[in-house]
Every structure is written in C-alpha cells, then in structure tokens.
Amino acid sequence: MDIADFPKFPLAHLPTPLELLPHLSRELGGPEIFVKRDDCTGLASGGNKTRKLEYLIGEALENQADTIVTVGATQSNHVRQTIAAAAKAGLACEVLLEQAVTRDDDYEANGNVLLDRLMGATIHTCEPSDDLNRDGQALANELAQKGANPTFIPLGGSSPLGALGYVECAFELLTQTILLNIEMSAIFVATGSQGTQAGLLVGLAAEGNSTPVHGIAVSRPGDQQAELVLDLTRRTEALLELGPIVPEGSVLCDGGYYGPGYGQPNDAMVEAVRLCARLEGLILDPVYSGKAMAGLIDKIRNGAYTKQDKVVFIHTGGQAALGAYRSVFD
C-alpha cells in the first residue's frame, strides 16, 4: 500500500526547517552540523510524536473512535502530544502514566504533566510495569465495556502505522538536502520506542539512500535497542508491502550515552544542552535530544568526521520536560 493511501489527520506544521548550526560546528572543529527542527512540529510545544499521531489519529477517526487511550512515563512527551491531538480531533483522552523515574516535585507536576493537566485529559497513574502497553490496552478494554469506542495508541506511538510519520520525514529531509545541495555523511537521532529510527530507515531505503542513521539509545543497551528497531523496521516495511529493503547491518544503535538510566541526567547531557543553548539558542531536552547530542559531540571529538562531512541531527523535541528537570540545570 502506498503511504499516501493511509488516512491522515493533519496536526503538524510541515516541512520542519533544516538549518545549519554554524557556531556549534565551529566550536567542535569537525563536520558541518545541520539540525532538522522536528521540535517545531507545532502541536502543544511540538516534537516527534506529532508526525506519528497524524496517522494514528487518522486511523482512530476512520474507526469512529470517541476516546484515545495511551501510556508513557510521567514526563512523556508522547502523552502530551497525544492529549493535544485528541483535543484537536474532538476526542476524549485517557492516559496511564508510569511512575518509573523517581525525582522531585517538579518531575511529578511541572513540565509535561502541567500541560497534560491543562489540556484536560483523564490521568491515571501506575507503579513501574513490566508491560505498560498491556496495562494501557486493559484500560481501553474497561472503557469499551462501559460503552466507549476507544483506540489504544501504544507507548511512543511506535506501531508500524505511527512509524509512517518518520518514513514521511525521511522523504521530506531528502528533498531538503537536494534543495540545499547537501550530501549527508550521517544522521543522528535519539531512539527510545523505536518508531522514529525505524521510520527513517524505511523512508531512506525506499528512496535508495544509504546514509547511516545513528540511533542514540535513551533507555537500553545498543544491541538490545538495535534488535527492537530492526523488528519494527521489518513490520513497517510489511505495512507498506515492501520486501525487506533495510539491510540488517544498517540498524545502528549506541547505548553509550543514556546512563545511569532512562530519564536520569548525566554530565554529558547537561553539557550538550548548555552548549546548544549558549551557542545557537537551540533548546534541547534532558531525556532524549540532550543525550543524543552528547553522543554526536563525543563522536566528533573522537574524530569520527572531517570538516568536509555534513551531519544531520534530528531534533525530536522534548523541551516541555525542561521545567521538570529544573534542579539539574541550577
């Protein structure tokens, strides 16, 4: 099936800009660094989940859903964007927030949680779970028994359907690189629930482009993350009725930058967030893009790229979480 045949509900401000970061590039003395501004997708402070939600809400509306159910960590950007998308589509929204990261009062109530509450979703909370999608699906089943017609959207919106948003982003990015006459040496992106990296890989491969996509893992070791990304990549190919087009060896995930754990700050993240803010007025986030940028900075300092190289960093958003991490940047 062609990607254009899937129902879509328009939510994102597209195309997002592709911009050079001149000061950061000069400071690091390595490649020219470009940023794809997917933090500027426009919905309730933006981020990468909005592209996925265009397809996920599109399908929910086609199925005449009246309620969206989803899940995430307390400071989930996906949950915040899903609540906003449901509001725009005129649907009720119930979310299940997993209390898996222990921090402070700001973490519990500021940042994304503040916005979630403003937008009026019904918020349920739960203890750390071994299968949050199962718990979210159970909540949806309960609502169905009470007469609602819910659609469950999995963690991070990372079903094959959601990943189509990043197949489309790859097409958009390739068009921009042609217009700007840039030959990419590499793409860097944070990877968590895998939909973003899987979608990018399928989109690039569908266009015959083999630019390496370096996923910087935010929640698990690189080999485990790569296995999950490959699995979603294959399922996304299948949804589009494409044979395997992404070579297995091209799923690159690096688990060297997320320690001590998901949503837990580290020094390299804080340095990356500060550097981009001060040099470029570019605001990263503490959980995803800050750690991914820390990975890119580390590779550049270790000589992975020359001045002739051009590297694209996909800014996946997440700034709404900054207020929840206020004490980290004091």
Q: Which of 158, 165, 163, 180 is nearest to 312 (CA)?
A: 180
**Cross-strand pairs, 123:** 95
Write down the least CB distance from residue 64 to ligand PLP, Å: 27
**Residue among 143 and 273 whose Cβ is closer to ligand PLP:** 273
Q: Which of 16, 292, 321, 286 is nearest to 166 (CA)?
A: 16
**Residues 67 and 150: beta-carbon distance below 8 Å:** yes
Q: Which of 52, 85, 50, 49 is nearest to 67 (CA)?
A: 85
Write down the least CB distance from residue 179 to ligand PLP, Å: 25
**Alpha-carbon distances of 54 from 41, 50, 137, 276, 320, rounded to whole Å:** 11, 6, 20, 29, 20
Write down the least CB distance from residue 127 to ligand PLP, Å: 22
Q: State the residues that interact with ligand PLP by CB under 6 A.
A: 47-48, 77-78, 156, 158, 190-197, 285, 288-289, 316-318
**Residue among 34 and 313 whose Cβ is closer to ligand PLP:** 313
**Residue among 48 and 176 whose Cβ is closer to ligand PLP:** 48
Q: Which of 143, 111, 109, 124 is nearest to 72 (CA)?
A: 124
Query: How are beta strands 18-20 and 32-37 bridged, if at all?
Result: antiparallel
Residues present in the chain in total: 330
Query: How are beta strands 32-37 and 122-126 bridged, if at all?
Result: unpaired
Q: Which of 142, 139, 167 is nearest to 153 (CA)?
A: 139
Choose the catalytic residue: 25, 45, 76, 159: 76
Return d(Cα 189, Cα 207) in angstroms, integer.
19
**Residue among 74 and 289 whose Cβ is closer to ligand PLP:** 289
159 a catalytic residue? no
Write down the least CB distance from residue 78 to ligand PLP, Å: 5
Tell me the CB-side half-sphere exposure of residue 312, using CA atoms within 13 A: 25
**Residue among 143 and 169 whose Cβ is closer to ligand PLP:** 169
Write down the least CB distance from residue 283 to ligand PLP, Å: 11
Write down the least CB distance from residue 316 to ligand PLP, Å: 3
**Residue among 33 and 216 whose Cβ is closer to ligand PLP:** 216
Active site residues: 76
